[in-house]
Chains A and B, each alone.
Chain A
Amino acid sequence: MPLGKNPVKKRGNKLGFWFFKAFLKTFGLSVAYGLLYPVCLYYLIHDHASVSASMAYIKKRFKANNIFQRICCVYKLFINQGKNLIDRYYVISGQGEFDIEIYGYDRIKSLLDNSQKGIILLTAHVGNWQVTMTVLKRLGRTVYLLMAPEDNIAVKNTLDVDDEKGRVKIISSENFLSGVIEIINVINQGSLVSIMGDRGDGYDCKEVNFLGEKANFPYGVFSIAAAVQCPVVILLSAKTSTKKYFVDVSHVIYPRYSSKNKKHEEITVWVQEFARTLEDYTAKYPFQWFVFRDLWKRQN
């Protein structure tokens, strides 16, 4: 499972984050959001890599739109991602909380109560992780996030999620076999492991139908779940108003091979199920999926 290179330049620097933090503390959420409009316009004009990476998704999601409308969609996407970052800092810094509506909490609780093993939370670059964590902490289990080490110092210092004292820990995707060994160990210990399933980034992928065309999604999550025999819970969240989020953990997949010779075919079915769920999400919340990758590009 080699890791690919992130084609999108990292946005944000120390001064920028300080500025937003100061505004947030002094004037509150709405004014801090207001700052995003000129800042995102700057990135829309100058950050061609990010615009181009977003355009792949926008073209598939809004097929009838002309080029001007699509650029407006990218702008909206950038602004929503900015709001997401501000909200994350808002929660981390203890300035306030959001109302959270959660679907499927009892189901996930029951899965954990009835098994020694943990579960895999298959998520995507949607909604807000910090908000989701406040819900998951109620489950009383350690949550591991599989992710590449943050190489943008400003982002790391402002939004670092690795909480040694708490119940959120990082498994580095740059470890041997992309952290598979650690993932298996912690699932066997009853922990939760959250893995992003919407960016290929050099991982082994399956080609499935997504927004009307064939797209590539990584499938490692399902091979781990089938081998360890744990459930995969699809975790999606979205911002529904300035102070409200919803978190959905109601969709559960139980990957089990029925035949040794059909593993790849069965995995493709599970990946397709995830892609379909994500497609439904983009129908409802088109500007809250921050994928910034061309999933439809043919892989070698």
Chain B
Amino acid sequence: MQKTEAQQLAQIRKDLKEMLVRDLSLEDIKPEDIKDNEILFGNGLGLDSLDAVEIVVLLQRNYGLEVKDMEKGKEIFYSIDTLARYIQENRKNVS
């Protein structure tokens, strides 16, 4: 059965949270602890520049995603929700 757009978005959010916890080795954080609207960098989830680099590579590898419009970068990487919406609209293939 085909998933609705809302279901797809929920699945991407879930996958993203699992990917961050697994591939960034976030200690003491479970995927379900990350809120959809939590700020990823700085005061929110507390990701740093090292994590940022890896997220960019993971998005390219897992979703064939390239952020070409740098003006939108800050908006896209704001939270799990903004990232998931961007992936939903722009992904080329999902592993």
Contacts and interface: CB of A to CB of B under 8 A. Distances in A.
Interface stretch (A8-16, A68-76, A181-189): A181-189
Contact of A177 (B60, B66, B73): B73
B74 A176 contact: yes
Nearest to A178: B49
A1 B66 CA distance: 20
Interface string A174-210: 0111101110110010000000000000011000000
Contact of B57 (A182, A228, A261, A264): A228
Interface stretch (A21-29, A78-86, A130-138, A219-227): A219-227
Interface in A103-123: none
Given A175-B70, A177-B73, A227 B49 contact: no
Nearest to A172: B70
A263 interface: yes
Contacts of B49: 1, 177-178, 180, 203-204, 220, 223
A184 B53 contact: yes
Contact of A182 (B53, B54, B60, B70): B70
A176 B70 contact: yes
A184 B66 CA distance: 9
Chief secondary structure at chain A's binding surface: helix
Contacts of B94: none
Contacts of B56: 177, 180-181, 184, 227
Contacts of B66: 185
Contacts of B48: 204
Interface residues of B, number: 17
Contacts, number: 52
Nearest to A263: B50
Interface string A245-279: 00000000000000011011001000000000000
Nearest to A219: B50
Main SS of chain B's interface residues?
Answer: helix
A220 B73 contact: no
Interface string B31-64: 0000000000000000011101110110010000
Nearest to A259: B25
Contacts of A223: 49-50, 53-54
Nearest to B68: A185
Interface string A54-79: 00000000000000000000000000
Given A185-B66, A204-B50, A261-B25, A177 B77 contact: yes
A172 to B, nearest CB: 8
B67 interface: yes
Interface residues of A, number: 23
A264 B57 CA distance: 18
Contacts of A264: 50
A2 B7 CA distance: 36
Nearest to A180: B53
A240 to B, nearest CB: 37
Contact of B73 (A175, A263, A267): A175
A220 B77 contact: no
Interface of B: 25, 48-50, 52-54, 56-57, 60, 66-68, 70, 73-74, 77
22 contacts: A1-B49, A175-B70, A175-B73, A176-B70, A177-B56, A177-B77, A181-B70, A181-B73, A184-B56, A184-B57, A185-B68, A188-B60, A203-B49, A204-B48, A204-B49, A220-B49, A223-B49, A223-B54, A227-B53, A227-B54, A227-B56, A260-B25
Given A176-B77, A260-B25, 18 more contacts: A1-B49, A175-B70, A176-B70, A177-B53, A177-B56, A180-B52, A182-B70, A184-B53, A184-B56, A185-B66, A188-B60, A204-B50, A223-B50, A224-B53, A227-B56, A227-B57, A263-B50, A264-B50
